[in-house]
């Protein structure tokens, strides 16, 4: 059984939102999140929504499907989807549309999959439960979409559980699930945030191709302006739940009208020092590491982190960046080699490390959705390490929590909120405050700004740099965002397939001539040009053809 053909024609209006207002409840008080937004989306069109954290992007994207998060409600306006007002439709009517005709790709795939079921089973559940096709046909289609989305070993990867694939692979599997019923409209909420630059190129190209082939309309939400430029026909800029400006993509990029929009276009530059610093707070020498006896991930890795400086580790998904962090934190004892902290060998296993050592070496994780306890309020999430490591209780602890919130540009109104009541950027800032709470010597930052918009990310980077200057704290900064590397790093380590292929001062690594793999990473950073992605893919295809051509 195959998906039913669409009834509309290209260019017909599919979605029309008028006067949309969405409210959220906090402390029994309702406050507006979205304030009278209008939008129109035609069949086959891609609309980009950009703006900083808290602008209402995700709330609008969900409301376009007639859905609001718990604690929120559509208080006014209409959401007309192909003749049906989703703002007033019954839950039963909307559930018949969710999946077959309306689909959503969440920002955090890790928090959206059922860990107890295989990927292909979760894929097939959607079209089968909606009567779109049988299980056999659904699984066959899954393999085809896995292949088109550049997932490795597409014939067999569906047999894996969510924890057995990387974050980038899981995000692509979620994109495939959203496309399983060939819906009329897909809302993409930061679908490439967790991906390294080279994987992001492949996924963007795959999404763009599939959207074109299926003639699917899309709302593409992102804080990455260059990514939106590759995907969207039109762009809407949002701030504080209101529309700032709207225009076709090329026009918006070449001639933004509003001062706020122009500020989003600004290039980040924080003028970081690049001297190697003094003594080394952490030394990693000739480390091998892996999982079990069969899978070896790190091969002879050596890295040093100077006190009060930032070492950035960059590379694709699967290059070994996060595995290196797990070795340093004691979550994965090395198979070979040594790790020294403040001149003393680090016990290989976490359980062997004393409490004071755990305080001095902390970590900020990539995915705040899975790093925060969903049942604990912000005051407890930040306050627990203050009590456990520093012995703070009562009023002293509460005061320190408020101080930490102010450092990350949140206020005391957030004290009693649950993680589900925070935006993605706010969740990550809470994670950062928790790590800073115990006044560590070294913080391992694992993609800490990947979920943040440009303005908020720049604020976090400035905060990290200020703390480094004031406290002489060191950072091991794991990232796939080379713009962030340019902004914050003193020393850059490039990893590929578990090996260090290049390292040195930032200017030396980023200045031509590059190592071939470093060149691949740099060439994969999206530019503010709507034609950049298609041009890059065409150049790479031509280069590949030239290599395959027989020699005359």
CATH of the domain at 450: 3.40.50.300
Q: What is the pLDDT of residues 266-312, one digit of tens each?
A: 645 555 555 555 689 999 999 999 987 677 899 999 999 999 999 99
Cβ(453)–Cβ(473) below 8 Å = no
Q: Given a cut of 60, is residue 112 above it in pLDDT? A: yes
Q: What is the pLDDT of residue 11?
A: 67
Using CA atoms, how far apart are residues 447 and 325, in angstroms rounded to an integer?
Answer: 12
User: What is the extent of the structural domain holding 343?
Assistant: 280-369+423-523
Q: Does residue 319 belong to any structural domain of this protein? A: yes
Q: Given a cut of 50, is residue 2 above it in pLDDT? A: no
Residues 6+ apart with CB under 8 A from 69: 59, 62, 420
Q: What is the pLDDT of residues 403-428, one digit of tens each?
A: 999 888 888 999 999 998 887 778 88
User: 84 falls in which pLDDT band (50, 70, 90)?
Assistant: very high
Q: Given a cut of 60, is residue 142 above it in pLDDT? A: yes
Q: Does residue 28 belong to any structural domain of this protein? A: no
Q: What is the pLDDT of residues 236-256, one digit of tens each?
A: 999 999 999 999 999 998 888
User: 547 falls in which pLDDT band (50, 70, 90)?
Assistant: low
How much of the chain, in percent, has pLDDT values that exceed 70?
A: 93
Helices within 13-166 (DSSP H only):
57-63, 91-97, 119-129, 135-148
Q: Given a cut of 80, is residue 169 above it in pLDDT? A: yes
Q: Does residue 362 belong to any structural domain of this protein? A: yes
Q: Does residue 328 belong to any structural domain of this protein? A: yes
Q: Does residue 206 belong to any structural domain of this protein? A: no
Q: Does residue 363 belong to any structural domain of this protein? A: yes
Q: Does residue 10 belong to any structural domain of this protein? A: no
* Number of structural domains found in the chain: 1
Residues 6+ apart with CB under 8 A from 281: 305, 306, 307, 341, 342, 441, 442, 474
Using CA atoms, how far apart are residues 144 and 213, in angstroms rounded to an integer?
Answer: 14
User: 5 falls in which pLDDT band (50, 70, 90)?
Assistant: very low
How many separate helices (H) and strands (E) can be counted in the chain?
A: 20, 20
Q: Who has greater pLDDT, 134 or 449?
A: 134
Q: Does residue 442 belong to any structural domain of this protein? A: yes
Q: What is the pTM of this model?
A: 0.72
């Amino acid at each position: 059984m195959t998906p039913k053909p669409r009834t509309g024609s290209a260019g017909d209006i599919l979605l029309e939102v008028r006067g949309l207002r969405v409210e959220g409840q906090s402390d029994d008080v309702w406050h507006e999140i979205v304030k009278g937004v209008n939008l129109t989306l035609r069949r086959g069109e891609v609309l980009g929504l950009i703006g900083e954290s808290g602008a209402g992007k995700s709330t609008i994207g969900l409301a376009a499907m007639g859905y609001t998060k718990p604690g929120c409600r559509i208080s006014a306006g209409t959401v007309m989807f192909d003749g049906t007002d989703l703002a007033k439709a019954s839950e039963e009517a909307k559930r018949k549309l969710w999946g077959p005709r309306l689909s959503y790709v969440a920002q955090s795939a890790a928090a959206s999959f059922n860990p107890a079921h295989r990927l292909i089973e979760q894929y097939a559940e959607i079209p089968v439960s909606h009567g779109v096709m049988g299980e056999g046909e659904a699984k066959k289609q899954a393999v085809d979409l896995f292949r088109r989305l550049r997932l490795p070993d597409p014939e067999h990867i569906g047999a894996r559980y969510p924890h057995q694939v990387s974050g980038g692979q899981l995000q692509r599997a979620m994109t495939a699930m959203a496309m399983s019923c060939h819906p009329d409209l897909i809302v993409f909420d930061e679908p490439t945030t967790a991906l390294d630059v080279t994987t992001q190129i492949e996924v963007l190209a795959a999404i763009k191709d599939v959207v074109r082939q299926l003639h699917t309309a899309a709302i593409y939400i992102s804080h990455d302006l260059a990514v939106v430029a590759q995907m969207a026909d039109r762009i809407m800029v949002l701030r504080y739940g209101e529309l700032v400006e709207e225009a076709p993509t090329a026009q918006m990029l070449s001639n933004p009208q509003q001062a706020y929009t122009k500020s989003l276009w600004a290039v980040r530059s924080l003028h970081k020092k690049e001297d190697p610093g003094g003594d080394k707070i952490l030394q990693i020498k000739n480390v091998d590491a892996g999982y079990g006896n069969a899978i070896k991930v790190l091969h002879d890795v050596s890295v040093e982190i100077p006190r009060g400086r930032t070492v950035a580790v960059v590379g694709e998904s699967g290059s070994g960046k996060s595995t290196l962090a797990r070795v340093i934190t004691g979550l994965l004892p090395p198979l070979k080699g040594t790790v020294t902290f403040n001149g003393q060998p680090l016990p290989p296993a976490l359980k062997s490390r004393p409490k004071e050592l755990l305080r001095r070496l902390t970590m900020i994780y990539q995915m705040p959705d899975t790093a925060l306890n969903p049942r604990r309020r912000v005051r407890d999430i930040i306050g627990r390490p203050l009590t456990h490591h520093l012995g703070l209780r009562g009023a002293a602890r509460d005061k320190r929590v408020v101080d930490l919130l102010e450092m990350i540009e949140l206020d005391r109104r957030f004290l009693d909120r649950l993680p589900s009541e925070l935006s993605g950027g706010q969740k990550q800032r809470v994670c950062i405050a928790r790590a800073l709470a115990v006044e560590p010597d070294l913080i391992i930052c694992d993609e800490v700004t990947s979920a943040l918009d440009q303005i908020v990310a720049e604020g976090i980077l400035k905060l990290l740099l200020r703390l480094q200057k004031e406290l002489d704290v060191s950072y091991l900064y794991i990232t796939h965002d080379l713009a962030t590397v340019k902004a914050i790093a003193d020393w850059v380590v490039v990893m590929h397939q578990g090996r260090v292929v290049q390292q040195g001062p930032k200017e030396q690594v980023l200045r031509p001539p590059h190592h071939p793999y470093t060149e691949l990473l740099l060439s994969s950073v999206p530019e503010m040009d709507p034609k950049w992605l298609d041009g890059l893919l065409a150049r790479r295809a031509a280069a590949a053809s030239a290599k395959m051509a027989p020699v005359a």
